[in-house]
Every structure is written in C-alpha cells, then in structure tokens.
Amino acid sequence: MKSKHIRLYFWQKIILLLTGSILTLSLGLAFVTRHSMTHAGKQIGAEGEDILSAQAETFLSKLVREEAVNLDLRLAQTRAAVAYGAVFLSENLNTHSGDSGFLDKSLKALLERSGKTAAAYFVSPDGKVRSYPARESEQDFPKNLIEEPFFPKFSDLHEIFGEVQWSQVHPNPFTVTYELVIDAVAPVLHEGVIQAYLGISLSLTQLTAQFNFHQPIRGSYCFVMDDNYQLVGAPPHARTDLSSPEAYMPRGIISLSKTENADLDSILRDMAMGGSFLKKVTIKDQVKYLTCHPLTHINWRLGLVVPVAMATAASRQLVGVVENVTRQAMLQMILWSLGLLIISLIAGALMAKLMVSPLHLMAGVAEKISNGDFGRRVDVASRDEVGNLARAFNVMADHVETMFADLNLRNRELEHEIAERVKAEDALRKLNEELENRVSQRTADLAKANTEILFLNECLKSENLRLNAELDVARRLQEMILPRAEELRNIEELDIVGFMKPADEVGGDYYDIIRCGGSIKISIGDVTGHGLESGVLMLMTQTAVRTLLISGESDPKRFLNILNSVIYGNVRRMQVDKSLTLSLLDYKDRQVKISGQHEQMIVMRQGGSLELVDTFDLGFPIGMDDNISAFVNEVAISLNPGDSIVLYSDGITEAENMSKEFYGLERLCEVIRQNRDQCAEGIKEAVVGDVRQFIGEQKLYDDLTLVVMKQQ
C-alpha cells in the first residue's frame, strides 16, 4: 500500500516557516530575557554594594587627584605672582623711589594677581614692613620679620634672582585672628644686592575651604599634612576627628605623628612617605575612606576622608529599583511577543501571496522556452527581487538568441587580428635590423668623438698648467707687496701686525701700512669676488695708494676721488664688473683719522670697553662711480696706551662652518675682548685660531684679512 504524502504549495511553506520562526524567536527571547534579568537582579542584590563600593573608591581617588591639581595650581599661581612682583620691583623700585604710593599700588596689584590670599607685604633689610591690606594691630607684631624662625633664608646671592621660597607654617601676624598661613617669598635685587623681600601670605584655611564648604559627599572633608606629620590645613571638625587634645604644637599647628589610633597612624605614615592610595580606617567608631595624593609645588599631602556608608548609600536603593524594573520589563515583553505573533501571521499570509504570484508566471514562461519558443518573455512590473529575477530571465533569453551571431562575428574579428599581428611582427623585425645598423654607426661616431675629447682634454691640461703658472706669479706678486714684519717692527709708536689668507690662489683683499712723513698710513680694502681679476685690481689699488701717499696728497676727499677715478677707468677698460671697499687711517700722536667705506672698525679700550666705528657714511665703493667726493667724510678717535684697533674683511665675519652658520661680528668682538691684554700678535693669533676652529673642515669661500694695531 502506497503511503500518502501531504502536498504543500510554496506559499503555504512560507507561512509555516515564517510563523514557526517568529514563534520560536519570541518564546526564546522571552525566556532569555526573563532568565537574564532575574539573574541580573539577584547578582545586583548580592554584589551591588561591592560594585558601587569599587565605583565609589574610583570616584574618590579621582576626586582627591583633581583637588590636588587645584591646590597645585593655586600654589603655582602664588609663586608666579611673587616671582613676577620681585622682578618688577627690582626693575622699577629705584625709579619710583620718590613715589610713596607706588609700593602700595604694586602690593595691591600683586594681591589681585595671586587670587584669594591673606596679604602681600614688602620687607626692607632692616625689618620695616609695608603690607596690603594694612596690619589690623601693631600689638605682638614681630620687631623684625626677617629674623623670625619661619622666614626663609637666602644664602647664595648669585643664584637667588627670580628664586621663590616657601616659609614655614605660622600664624598670620597681619591680622588679629592669627590664622595659619604660609608665605611665598622672593628677594628684590638691585645690581646684585638684596634691597628687600617681597612676600604673599597664603591662608591655609582658604586652600581647602571651597571643598569643605560644598562637601560633594555628606560628612566628607579634606585636610593638608606635611612630611613632618603636621596638620597645616583642615576644617575644625577634621582636627577633632584626626587628632587628640595633646597634639597641639607651637604656632597653633597640630601634630598627627601619634593619634591614639594605630590604624590611622599606619595610614598617616604611608601618607607621609608620598604616593597616592585609598584605604578604609575606623575613626571615632565609624568606618571611613581615607584617600591621599601628594602636591607638586610643596612637600605636602592632600587627604580626603569620606564615610563609607555615605559613599555606598545608593547601592541599597539600586537593588529595589532593579527588581521593580525587571517585573515591568517581563510583562511588557510578554505583551509585545503576543502582539508581534498575531501581526506576523497576517503579514506573512499577504507577503506569501505577493511573492508566489510572479513565480507562478515565471514557471509557465520557462516551460514554454524549454519547448523551443524562444520568443516568449516574462511580463513582471514589480521592482523587488522577483521583478529583478524576471528581468534577468528576459535578458538571458535575449542573450541566448544573439549568442551564435556574436560568436560568428567574433571569429571574423579574430581572423582579422591575427593577420594584423603577422604584419606588425614583420614590421618590427625590419625596425630591429635598422636599429642595429644605426647603433653600429652611432658607436663609431662616439669612438671618434671620444678620441677628439681625449685630445681636447690634453690641451686643457696644458692650458691649465699655463694658467696655474700665471696665477702663481700673480699670487707671488701679491705677497711681495704686502708689508713685511721688519717694516712693522720699526714703527715704535704702535704694536701692529697684519694677516691675509686668500680663498683662491689670488685673493681680492688688500691692506698696506706705510710711514709717510710724521704719520703712519694704514689702508684696508676688499675687492668684490676673488681670483685673478680681483687680484689684479688689488695690485692696481696698492700702487695707486702708494703713489698718492708719496706724492704728498693728504686731503681725504681728493685722495679717494683721484684713486676712484684711476680704478674706475681701469675697470671700464678691463670690461669687468668689479669694485672695492677701501678705508684709510691716518695715525699721528695717538690720533687716528678714518675715511673711506669698509667694514666696521673695532676699538678695544684697555679698560675693557669696546667701540664700533661705522664707516658706511665715510665713503663710497671705489670703481662704481666716476666721482665720489660728495660721499667722502672723516672721523677722528684718540688712543691711550693699551688701546687697540682691529681692521678686518668680511671673509672673517661671514666665514661659515659645516652647519652653514656665520662666524659673526659678535663672536669676533668677544675673542678680541678676551685677549685685549695680549700684544698685537697675540690678538691676531687668537682671532685666526678661533676662525679656523669655527669653520673646521669647511671650504674657505672668501679671503681672510686682519690688521691689529695697539697703542704702545
């Protein structure tokens, strides 16, 4: 006997599948939700207090750190205000010595800058005090505030500029309440001498007043203790809570070194050692949290005390709230599940009908296409997945019809491409043959060119040897006309030396020293650029200067204008773009007259003072214009025994090291200042040695010229 199978249509299967899925999901979700919320309620009931205790500890640790940061900022603000005030008074106190109100205004401004503080005061070395606000009573006020034990001591006068020190904790002498304060004190200096002391008294009660006033958690308070177990800041109830009546020390300070509570003593010892922690301790028969954090700007510790019961009071309320929320959530879950099941059954039936109708139509068209009717198409207007499937089905039928036509067309295209490729390969072979011929020809041409290059290279070597010989002759000529050491030693009035190092074989720098009549003529110049042309122009200048000096020309305007006319004409004849700076010094009877434009001249006095003579307005570059007489001026300076004058070219001040840094005029002056007591030769060697040490292995880009003259 054949068994009967129940036949279900596709839309019926969809309804059954959708209903079963929704029913299973709803029941499972209800079960899991009920189990999870019941378990969570039990767990919160059992562990809620521990969880909230941990959260409370985390909150308290963060709270004490934030309060410590606030105190550190307050202390830093006070230190910065005192440091600024000390520097300000050091610079302006003597200027306003006759203004009686200047100091009061300064103290008032300092107090406003430092925030809420007790007082700002100014103490002279003899102990006289000016304060803002003014003292409320003179009774029991110290005769000399500086000699009080709590006043800081400043020992090293070379290191106290801008230094701020904290005093010891002490009662405020400026008020009748004698509240505990700590002072930030800095010296007021004038020319390295202490003129007075500037201080700000910071109220220790105000440091923790804001926290203790608001009390973020009922029954909490914060206190400040130093590393000697001194309670330096706390509200009155905190002092009763933490100490015994015997703990009071001089100056109204309470000692926490022994509190008659062993557990509290242990925690306070850990607190004095530094570090941050949170511990539980029983104080006055009540379990409390004690958390602490060290301060940065002073060797103090900030402590925070909170009753444990107040910190975790919310845990018991949370358990009842969670149980009530669990019951309401379960009821809502059941109602929502039933409603969702009914809605899903209705929506599933409608959706199944809509989904299956296009599939019925598509099945019929597919059966006809399979029988050979390729012109049949599916007509479905929907834009969902079924509509996309129908359109894809129609496209596939179109593709089947055109497939063989496309294949034939592609075959013909492939045959054409093969023929074109054969032609391209033949053309490529011919191009390769032509390229090989051209390469052979080019190789022969390069070989010929290489032979010619080798010949020209030999010619250049010969020419280079000839030019080097000419440059050597020019360099030797240049060296020959420089002043000899014997000539300079014969000048009795001055200790004078010169030095020149060209950057190339022939330099463009120039200096000369000539005794002419009863005076000594010193000249120094710098031709633009360097090399053979600059060297030739330097030789022309030296010859022209000596000719004018020997001819007796002494007027600086006519002297420099005649020299300029000669050089200007020669430069135009040479057709080069060259000019030079030139300064002339006329020394006689300890008087030096300077004319002509060059670098600044350094006058080093025996006493240590240094002067710079700017020559910019004393002349004009030589060879740049045909007439420069309107630009020529003259200045005179006097020399005393031991005074020196240093002349130099820009090759020294603009010498570069490997880091592309310039040697600079400032460094040159400093070397001269340090070696001013040496002879002229010693000063020269010190400068040249320092320049060589500065540039190291760097190439010398410009000529170095130096002339040192010292009054005997």
Mean pLDDT (whole number) for 31-52: 62
pLDDT score at 7: 61
pLDDT given at position 584? 96
For a pLDDT cut of 70, what percent of the chain falls above it?
76
Q: What is the pLDDT of residues 368-409, one digit of tens each?
A: 777 777 677 777 666 766 677 777 767 776 776 676 457 667
Question: In the chain, which residues fall in CATH 3.60.40.10?
Answer: 483-711
Tens digits of residue pLDDT in 316-369:
555 555 566 666 766 776 676 677 667 766 766 666 666 666 666 777 777 777
Element (H, E) at 258: none
**Three-state helix/strand/coil letters over 439-456:** HHHHHHHHHHHHHHHHHH
What average pLDDT does this structure show over 424-440?
83
Rounded distance between C-alpha atoms, residue 320 and residue 315, angstroms: 9
Say if residue 695's pLDDT is above 90.
Answer: yes
Mean pLDDT of 652-663: 95
Q: How many angstroms separate the CA atoms of 32 and 14, rounded?
A: 27
Please give the Cα distance from 416 to 19 (Å, whole number): 63
Decide if domain 208-311 falls under CATH 1.10.3720.10. no
Residue closest to 623 by CA, chosen among 502, 479, 526: 526
Contacts of 179 (CB under 8 A, 6+ apart): 118, 171, 172, 203, 204, 205
Of the candidate CATH numbers 3.40.47.10, 3.40.50.300, 3.40.50.1820, 3.60.40.10, the domain formed by 483-711 belongs to 3.60.40.10
Please give the average per-residue pLDDT across 522-527, as a whole number. Answer: 94
Q: Which of 48-62, 164-178, 311-325, 690-704 has the highest mean pLDDT?
A: 690-704
* CATH number at 93-206: 3.30.450.20
Alpha-carbon distance values, 385 to 34, 359, 362, 380, 390 (Å): 38, 11, 13, 11, 9
Choose between 613 and 34: higher pLDDT.
Answer: 613
Q: Is the pLDDT of residue 140 over 60?
A: no
**Which pLDDT band, with edges at 50, 70 and 90, does 64 fall under?**
confident
Question: What secondary structure does DSSP assign to 123-178, as a single string?
Answer: E-TT--EEEESPPS--TT--S-GGGSTTS-----TTS-TT--EE---EE-TTSSS-
Range with the largest mean pLDDT of 91-95, 187-191, 198-202, 218-222: 198-202
Range ranked top by mean pLDDT from 158-162, 334-338, 652-656, 695-699:
652-656
Segment 512-523 shows an average pLDDT of 92
Q: Is the pTM of this model over 0.85?
A: no
Q: For the sheet containing 277-283, what is the strand order?
A: 254-255, 230-233, 221-226, 300-307, 286-294, 277-283
- The mean pLDDT value for 39-56 works out to 62
* Higher-pLDDT residue of 611, 62: 611
Lowest pLDDT segment from 48-52, 133-137, 557-561, 575-579: 48-52
Range picked from 5-19, 79-93, 232-246, 561-575 for highest mean pLDDT? 561-575
Q: Mean pLDDT of all residues in the chain? A: 81
pLDDT for residue 424: 83
pLDDT of residue 158: 44
- The confidence band for 671, taking pLDDT boundaries of 50, 70 and 90, is very high
Lowest average pLDDT, out of 39-48, 162-171, 387-396, 470-479, goes to 39-48
Helix axes 314-370, 385-480, angle to 10 degrees: 110
Residue carrying structure tokens 């006809």:
368
Mean pLDDT for the stretch of residues 29-47: 62
Say if residue 470's pLDDT is above 60: no
Confidence band, pLDDT 50/70/90 cuts, at residue 664 = very high
Quick check: 635 and 593 in contact, CB under 8 A? yes
Mean pLDDT of 489-493: 92
- Which tokens hold the place of 70? 């606030």
Return the pLDDT at 529. 79
* Average pLDDT score over residue span 26-50: 63
Say which amino acid occupies 268.
Answer: L
Q: How many residues does the chain have?
A: 712
pLDDT per position as a tens digit, 580-628: 999 999 999 999 999 999 999 999 999 999 999 999 999 999 999 999 9
For 490, list phi and psi in degrees, rounded to 5.
-75, -5
Q: Which of 687, 659, 658, 660 is CA-nearest to residue 672?
A: 687
Which residues share a beta bridge with 711?
Answer: 494
Average pLDDT over residues 184-203: 86
Model pLDDT, residue 380? 66
Is the pLDDT at 52 greater than 90? The verdict is no
Q: Which residues of 612-639 are buried (b: 16+ CB within 10 A; e: fewer)?
A: ebebeebbbbbbbeeebeebbeeeebeb
In this model, does residue 260 exceed pLDDT 50? yes
DSSP state for residue 591 in the 8-state scheme: E
Question: What pairs with residue 122 in β-bridges?
Answer: 130, 198
Q: How many CA atoms, within 13 angstroms, populate the side-chain half-sphere of residue 524?
A: 26
- Whether 437 shows a pLDDT value over 70: the answer reads yes
CATH 3.30.450.20 in the chain, residues?
93-206, 208-311
